[in-house]
Amino acid sequence: MTAIRVLLVDDDPLVRAGLSFMLGGADDLEIVGEAADGGEVEALVDRTRPDVVLMDIRMPTVDGLTATEALRRREDAPQVVVLTTFHADDQVLLALRAGAAGFVLKDTPPAEIVAAVRRVAAGDPVLSPAVTRQLMAHAAGDAGDTRRTRARDRVAALNDREREVAVAVGRGLANAEIAAELYMSVATVKTHVSRILAKLDLNNRVQIALLAHDAGLLEDTDNL
């Protein structure tokens, strides 16, 4: 079994030590490097080739948002999980929009952080619909009406089936759940998700969920 390679980025050495201890105890995870600031991240990624980066959102020199944006522009971009102290943080939402695959609170139980790393490495987001809605309520940047108009213009590129899949992704459903609900195979769901990502120039399911929220596609669903 190939271990999941993890890079830790946090300006607090005690936090890094704690993360290293809890993640290092998992047989399928390998800590390949540590950084104390976002400015160190790209060089470390070049050297260590991590699968997942655990990224503190607030650091004194180069913050986690800036570092995430830089990483997600790379062709070989690792997955990024944001570390934060707050459930609803504008910087976290911006990092998710930039391509982070989810976030975990720093006081999350160790087993859940390990599970989050495994999920992200497997291509699944670490973000529930309820948390997405909470983040959206604290959104920074464009006024709500402007963001909604832009989002609706973008999702207009989707056909009806892709739009249904986008809504299901926004509701937090896994591929198998989407397949059962929409009467299609899991392989077909994956194909639709890939097409949505390509059409809308997005790079993960979290961004699909955020765009679905922005466009107002989830307002009539029961699961939010």
User: Model's pTM, two decimal places?
Assistant: 0.78
Pick 9 or 60 by higher pLDDT: 9
pLDDT value for 213: 84
pLDDT at residue 98 greater than cutoff 90: no
Among 37-46, 126-135, 190-199, where is mean pLDDT lowest? 126-135
pLDDT value for 222: 46
For 109-161, what is each residue's pLDDT tens digit? 888 899 989 988 987 777 766 666 666 665 545 556 788 888 899 999 999 99
Helix (H, G, I), strand (E, B) or coil at 204: coil
Position of tokens 């995870």? 29
Give me the percent of the chain exceeding a pLDDT of 90: 49
Give me the percent of the chain exceeding a pLDDT of 70: 88
The mean pLDDT of 79-91, rounded to a whole number, is: 81
pLDDT value for 147: 80
State both tokens at 66. 């800036």
Per-position DSSP letters for 16-80, written without gaps between them: HHHHHHHHHTSTTEEEEEEESSGGGHHHHHHHH--SEEEEES--SSS-HHHHHHHHHTSTTPPEE
- Residue 224: what residue type? L
